[in-house]
């Protein structure tokens, strides 16, 4: 039996990828897995590699999707990005960490909010 949360997450990632592509980003890779975890989307905006965390929520949930990226999750994403850059021989590339917040509205439609530079590696 398929986990419904996984289906919802995949739909949110697809929505985010389409939105970013329409906004001019090149979506390079999706669901990049390393031993420590997964990067939802890796994009390029100009000469910047953008690591994107997609968060999906319903309107009635207390915290916004962007708030769901905890300090621990940020640290893990930074480590994953370092692995990615080394593995792809992009050690000197400029990079950024964005969050795309996908909200599932009551009528089933999705609204998207892009938070560029949501956090940094410092």
Spatial CB neighbours of 91, under 8 Å, sequence gap ≥ 6: 85
Q: What is the reported pLDDT for 110?
A: 82
Angle (CA) 5-17-122 rounded to 5° is: 90
Of 7-21, 27-41, 51-65, 90-104, minimum mean pLDDT range: 51-65
Fold classification of 4-117 is Trna Endonuclease; Chain: A, domain 1 (3.40.1350)
What's the predicted TM-score (pTM) here?
A: 0.89
Q: 44 falls in which pLDDT band (50, 70, 90)?
A: very high
Report pLDDT digits (tens) over 65-117. Answer: 566 788 899 999 999 999 999 999 998 999 999 999 998 877 878 889 999 99
Q: Are 8 and 54 spatial neighbours (Cβ–Cβ below 8 Å)?
A: no
How many other C-beta atoms can be found within 10 angstroms of the C-beta atom of residue 112?
Answer: 18
Q: 61 falls in which pLDDT band (50, 70, 90)?
A: low
């Amino acid at each position: 039996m398929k986990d419904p949360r996984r289906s919802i997450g995949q739909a949110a990632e697809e929505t985010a990828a389409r939105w970013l592509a329409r906004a001019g980003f090149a979506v390079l890779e999706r669901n990049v897995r390393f031993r420590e975890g997964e990067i939802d989307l890796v994009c390029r905006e100009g000469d910047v590699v953008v690591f994107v965390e997609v968060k999906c929520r319903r309107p009635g949930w207390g915290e916004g999707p962007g708030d769901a990226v905890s300090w621990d999750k940020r640290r893990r994403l930074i480590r994953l990005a370092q692995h990615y850059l080394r593995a792809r021989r992009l050690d000197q590339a400029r990079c950024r960490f964005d969050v795309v917040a996908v909200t599932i509205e009551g009528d089933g439609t999705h609204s998207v909010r892009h938070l560029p530079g949501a956090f940094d590696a410092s």
